[in-house]
Amino acid sequence: MNETGYLKILKDGVWTQNTGFVALLGLCPLLAVSNSVVNGLGLGLATLLVLLISNVAVSLIRNLVRPEVRIPVFVLVIACVVTAVELAMHAFLPGLYTVLGIFIPLIVTNCCVIGRAEAFAFKHKVAKSAVDGIATGLGFMLALTLLGAVREVVGQGTLFSQADLLFGELGKGLTLHLADNYRGFLLAILPPGAFIGLGCLIALKNIIDSRIQHRATAQPATVLIEAKS
């Protein structure tokens, strides 16, 4: 099995080392913005963009930077990228911009952005860094969207409400109402629901992982038994 290279980076970023579920980085936006799918998707996209650009940028400049100013330079680069993205969102997705509020500039301190810059982009070539940025971003977006979906469904019984914020007029039709006169379980939308929801998703991931592992190890185990008998 050859898992090195791009595929592994992708798998790590999206699943094995998922920032939201495993590394527990970037928790603030993850929890704060995931009260609906659309919010989650929006911030996820923005973060993905920032991650991609900043990873590429850091990878490009990695030979120019001295260790003592490494962090400030990264921070500076990321801050510039974020500001540009922020301005763009303000211009083209004003509704979403208002909803996400302070969490757009806070992408700067999203631990996973600087974390990837430090841990990956700084040590790898541009192409790999780009893939890593995309993978990490996708992973983060996955976490955001999943959590957003769970919270939205449980909390208000809808999916893709306010999709127009992201997709414009087109999005208005996207909203799904899952049950008529669903009373809504406010807890899911309120802060405690974010924590508990993420906790449950992580537990779910653990269960899936252990199933996978179980299946993987099940085979050799039977071989052993056969060998014995």
Partner 1 sequence: MIAAIVVLSVMAGVSGLLLGFAAVRFKVEGDPIVDKIDAILPQTQCGQCGYPGCRPYAEAIAAGEADINQCPPGGENGVTALADLLGRDPKPLNAEHGVVKPKMVAVIDEQNCIGCTLCIQACPVDAILGAAKHMHTVIASECTGCELCIAPCPVDCIDMIPVAQTITTWKWTYPAVTAKAAA
Partner 2 sequence: MRFKIVTSPHISQDVSVGQIMRRVLYAMIPGIAALTGFFGWGILINLVIATVVALLAETVMLTVRGRPLALHLSDFSAVVTAWLLAVALPPLAPWWLTALGIFSAIVVAKHLYGGLGYNPFNPAMAGYVVLLISFPREMSTWLIPHGLDQPHALSFLDALRAIFSSEWPARFTLDALTGATPLDALRTQIGLGLTVTEIRNSPIFGIVAGQGWEWAALGFLAGGLWLVYTRTADWRIPAGMLGGLAIIATIFYLADPQHYAPPWFHVWSGAAIFGAFFIATDPVTASTTSRGRLIYGAGIGILVYIIRGFGGYPDGVAFSVLLMNIAAPAIDLYTQPRVFGARRG
Partner 3 sequence: MKDYALILVGTILVNNFVLVKFLGLCPFMGVSRKLETALGMGLATTFVLTLSSICAYLSDAYLLAPLGLEYLRTIAFILVIAVVVQFTEMVVHKTSPLLYQVLGIYLPLITTNCAVLGVALLNVQTRHGLVESGLYGFGAAAGFSLVMVLFAAMRERIVVADVPIPFRGAAITLVTAGLMSLAFMGFAGLVRG
Footprint of partner 3 (CB under 8 A): 21-22, 24-29, 31-32, 71-72, 75-76, 79-80, 82-83, 86-87, 102, 105-106, 108-111, 114-115, 187, 190-196, 198-200, 202-204, 206-207, 210
CB of 178 to partner 3, least distance (A): 23
Please identify, among the stretches 35-43, 66-74, 119-127, 163-171, the one whose residues bind partner 1 according to the rule CB under 8 A: 66-74
Please identify, among the stretches 93-101, 128-136, 188-196, 217-225, the one whose residues bind partner 2 according to the rule CB under 8 A: 188-196
User: Looking only at residues 162 through 201 of this chain, which bind ligand FES when binding is defined by CB under 6 A?
Assistant: none
Q: Which of 71, 170, 178, 190 binds partner 2 (CB under 8 A)?
A: 190
Longest dimension (CA), the chain: 71
Is residue 68 near partner 1 by the rule CB under 8 A? Answer: yes
CB of 105 to partner 3, least distance (A): 4
Those residues whose C-beta lies under 8 Å from the C-beta of residue 113, and which sit 6 or more positions away, are 26, 47, 50, 51, 54, 78, 107
Binding flags for ligand FES, 96-125, as an x/- string (CB under 6 A):
--------------xx--------------
Structure tokens at 90: 């303000």
Total number of residues shown for the chain: 229
**Which of partner 2, ligand FES, partner 1, none sits in contact with 190, Cβ below 5 to 8 A by type?**
partner 2
CB of 32 to ligand FES, least distance (A): 9
Q: How many CB atoms lie within 10 A of CB 98?
A: 11
CB of 168 to partner 1, least distance (A): 31
Residues that bind ligand FES (CB under 6 A): 25-28, 110-111
Residues that bind partner 2 (CB under 8 A): 183, 185-187, 190, 192, 196
